[in-house]
Structure 1
Amino acid sequence: MARVLTRRELGRALLARQWLLERTGAATEEAVTGLVGMQAQAPYAPYFGLWSRLRDFGTADLADALTGRRLVRIALMRSTVHLVTAADYRALRPWAQPALDRELDTAFKKDLAGLDRAAVAESGRALLGARHLTPKELGAALRERWPDREPRALATVVRNLVPLVQVPPRAVWGAGGTTRYATAAGWTGAEPDAGADAGRIVLRYLAAFGPASAADLQTWAGRTRLRPVLDELRPRLAVFRDEGGTELFDLPDAPRPGADVRAPVRFLPEYDNLLASHADRTRVISDENRKRIGTRNGMRAAFLVDGQVAGAWKLRRDTAPATLEIDPFRPLTATERADVEAEGHRLLHFAAPGTTHDITW
């Protein structure tokens, strides 16, 4: 009979894979690879996510990798923008394509009815081969050929069928800039792989997020019908069950710390994949608090206490002093409050060096 892993044990395992029990000495690009990308529609979110995970991380490490085209921001899993290495864009884009197709078939079904999507995609590819365009500019240019169609829908067809990257200075720390697209092939010099190596990608998911169920895997990928991939891999995997009896899969030698391992305070950015990559997320956030961090358009930045989301935070760098606003979801002990403030001051020194700092509750 498969061993049962408690919710707390599952949480500790996830935090260990995510380098949130102990910061790692990995370099930026190595870490992004190990995390199988970082959700990044909030342009500066990965800076804070990497700071919370790496022992020696500076904003220039990520900014230089973006301008050097070693890291790219591109729509992948769940049709959301992810930060990945240039090599991983090639592997992960075919894997993510069903989620991108489904978005067109659902959110834009009415707008795209009867449209030759392939023709729109090729027209967009040609436009972006000439110059980088904002989504609005791309949609307007496409509408000249399809005047009866909504520009946003036309631009999304190109985004979802032609791999596009958001080019710097977008998401470059201290520079900023609006979203402008280039084709990923033109920007990186390489086309996506011919097809997804599903087994390899699932093993990478388990290394970063396991132990996990089939439903967890599908939530992360934004895809369905992935149970057969896990079944094919079963001889190579360790199999467990959670307290509710759900079957969980993992790499045999992956870290699974005990429930008593200390979990330090950590600050997570908006949309962090730690909180978006399982169907059952109670290993790190209660269902009640999951509602509290949810917003109309996404997910608030959150902080962890003893391995669980205990509140949300917001940083105001444009004020004097730079201020970290902390919104706890439960009463904190004096020791917990002191630990949150200590980590908060470290966050302020990282994000707003050379100025005065304040923390408000």
Structure 2
Amino acid sequence: MNDRPAEVPVLPWAGVSARRLQRSSLAPTGTATGPADVVARLCGAHAQVLSAAELSVGLRLSDTTRAGVREALWTERTLVKTYGPRGTVHLLPTRDLPMWTGALSALPPSSGNARGGQQLLTPEQIEQVIAAVADSLKDAELTADELTEAIVERTGSWAADPVMEAFQGKWPRWRAVMDIAANRGALCFGETRGRKATYTNPHRWLPGFTPLEGPAALAALVTSYLHAFGPATPQHFARWLAAPRRWATDLFASLGDALQEVELAGERAWVVAGDTDVPDGPPRGLVLLPYFDAYVVGCHPRALLYPGAASERALAAGQAGNFPVLLVDGEVAGVWHQRRSGKKLFITVEEITPLTGVRRKELDEQAARVGEILEGRTELTLAKVTVGPHA
């Protein structure tokens, strides 16, 4: 950029990649102290499939398995499973619930988030449903069917009208705003009952919690995001959050001197003011990241994160996360897939560039670690991955 002021720092991709690995607890010298600390550093762990979140967290700790993540979630309650960025299910740190609920409840509607379902209810009905959800769950863990009955008792039969498109039929009307209820702090997931999910009130995780005011919560979320994944643009933040781009641009502008402009890969981007240091050494490490791991979803530019053939093989229509990836020195170097049979995990890794002997040894160790986390025995094969995205 020829008109770039001389005082704007130019950050090298290798340095940015190395610091993102450190801050995401993926560098060999990671310092995360437990599951909640990991998830806080990641700005949430995608948990539409809980085992993927368990693997995301476990890979960043030397001695944690999925049992440790579940203990943090269901026993210690230092984690909470709820609706997070992009209207999708995430694990979030319980201590950060005030920020998350305050920020997510302040988001404007967008074609990219899950709020389109609110057109199935009037504004008055939305408020009635949220109040009914909060009251029904204040001292209980209920399945979806049980919660539907409780909501109908408090609102009316209209709340159960089967009008929301679902995977195999229609869901009751109230479920169209389930994510909004979660964002408002009225609902989160409880422990699974058999094969059925349950829901409860997050006040049971963090008694007395109150969502932060929208502006303060959004400022805190931008800061957390930029610390983990910066330098980034408002457009990157909007994509990560599934929010309107213009709104994100205005939000960044409103933060003024709290943010600082830098240059990365010839483009301007932003970091938290003063946060321009990068490690001296290059990015290092080999890791098998699961579906929708926070590192690949949050980091940009995609062309550098997914260099060369990786962009064609490991992205799905430009979207990151649909394939589990082999990450080598901070960049995508392959895809992988696992198939479970009892205690046996069959892991297939497809290299984009053949691994050296040293890297192959690291891959063997990483596959064994995946088995430890998921409490299984692994069998590793190097071959083409034949399943499609999100399989």
State TM-score, norm by structure 1: 0.83
1:211 aligns with 2:211: no
Are the structure 2 counterparts of residues 262 and 114 from structure 1 closer, same or farther at C-alpha, using a change threshold of 3 Å? closer
Amino acid corresponding to residue 74 of structure 1 in structure 2: T
C-alpha contact 1:314 1:324 (8 A) present in aligned 2: yes
- Residue 134 (str. 1) matches residue 143 (str. 2): yes
For residue 91 of structure 1, the aligned residue among 85, 99, 112 is 99
Q: Which among 165, 168, 181 is matched to residue 199 of structure 2?
A: 181
Q: How does 1:60-79 map to 2 (within 5 A)?
A: 60-66=67-73, 67-79=75-87
For this pair of structures, how many residues does the alignment match?
352
Residue among 2, 19, 41 paired with 2:25: 19
Cα distance change of structure 1 residues 229 and 267 upon mapping to structure 2, 3 Å threshold: same
C-alpha separation in 1, matches of 2:307 and 2:124: 43
Q: Give the distance between the partners of 1:193 and 1:104, measured in 2 at CA.
A: 20
Q: What stretches of structure 1 move > 6 A for 4+ residues in a row?
A: 295-298
Partner residue, 2:54: 47
1:282 alignment partner, SS class: helix
Q: Which of the numbers 30, 36, 39 marks the counterpart of 2:43?
A: 36
1:308 counterpart (323, 331, 338): 331
* Deviates further, 72-81 or 159-168: 159-168
Q: CA deviation at 1:359?
A: 0.7
Q: Given that residues 17 and 255 in structure 1 are in contact (C-alpha distance below 8 angstroms), is that contact kept between their aligned partners in structure 2?
A: no
Q: CA deviation at 1:17?
A: 1.6
**Separation in 2 of the partners of 1:134 and 1:153?**
16
Distance 1:210 1:126, change over 3 A: same
Q: 2:132 corresponds to which letter in structure 1?
A: S
Specify the alignment match of 2:210 in structure 1: 192
With over 3 angstroms needed to count, the CA separation of the structure-2 counterparts of 1:97 and 1:290, relative to structure 1, is: farther
Contact 1:209 1:277 in 2 (8 A): yes
Q: Structure 1, unaligned stretches of length 5 or more?
A: 171-175
Work out whether residues 16 and 256 of structure 1, in 8 Å CA contact, stay in contact via their aligned partners in 2. no
Residue 157, structure 1, aligned to residue 166, structure 2: no
1:278 CA displacement: 4.5
Alignment of 1:233-272 (within 5 A): 233-253=255-275, 255-258=277-280, 261-272=282-293
After superposition, the C-alpha distances for 1:113-151 in whole angstroms (9 at most, x for unaligned) are 687221222233333346433335545765761154523
Residue 352 of structure 1 corresponds to: 375
**2:11 aligned residue:** 5
- Aligned with 2:303: secondary structure? coil
Q: CA deviation at 1:182?
A: 0.9
Gap change, CA 1:70 and 1:247, over 3 Å in 2: closer
Residues 291/91 of structure 1: CA separation in 2 closer, same or farther (3 Å cut): farther
CA 283–20 in structure 1, closer or farther in 2 if over 3 Å, else same: farther
Where structure 2 has 5 or more consecutive residues not aligned to the other structure, the ranges are 1-5, 164-170, 383-391
Is the alpha carbon distance of 1:149 and 1:117 closer, same or farther for their aligned partners in structure 2, counting shifts above 3 Å?
A: farther
Letter in 1 for 2:331: Q
Contact 2:59 2:373 in 1 (8 A): no
Distance 1:291 1:157 in 2: 36
Deviation at 1:219, TM superposition (A): 2.3
SS in 1 for 2:370: helix
Q: Which amino acid aligns with 2:143?
A: T
* CA distance in 1: counterparts of 2:355 and 2:188, whole angstroms: 42
How much does 1:279 deviate? 5.8
* Cα distance, 1:321 vs structure 2: 4.2
User: Could you tell me whether the CA contact under 8 Å between 2:188 and 2:200 is conserved in 1?
Assistant: yes
Superposed displacement of residue 203, structure 1: 1.8
Same amino acid, percent of matched pairs: 23
Task: Report the Cα offset of residue 43 of structure 1.
Answer: 0.7
| 1:47-86 CA distance string (max 9 Å, x none) | 2112222233243432221122221011122212221222
Q: What amino acid maps onto 1:86 in structure 2?
A: T
TM-score when normalising by structure 2: 0.77
Per the alignment, in what secondary structure is the counterpart of residue 179 of structure 1? Answer: strand
The match for 1:284 is 305
Aligned partners of 2:285 and 2:229: how far apart in 1?
Answer: 19
Amino acid at match of 1:161: A
Q: Which residue, out of 55, 64, 68, partners 1:57?
A: 64
Query: 2:249 matched to 1:227?
Result: yes
Per-residue Cα deviation, 1:221-268 (whole angstroms, up to 9, x for no partner): 33332334434545344431122323332452465135x614210121
1:147-196 deviations in Å (ceiling 9; x for gaps): 545235421313323432111247xxxxx743211121244323432413
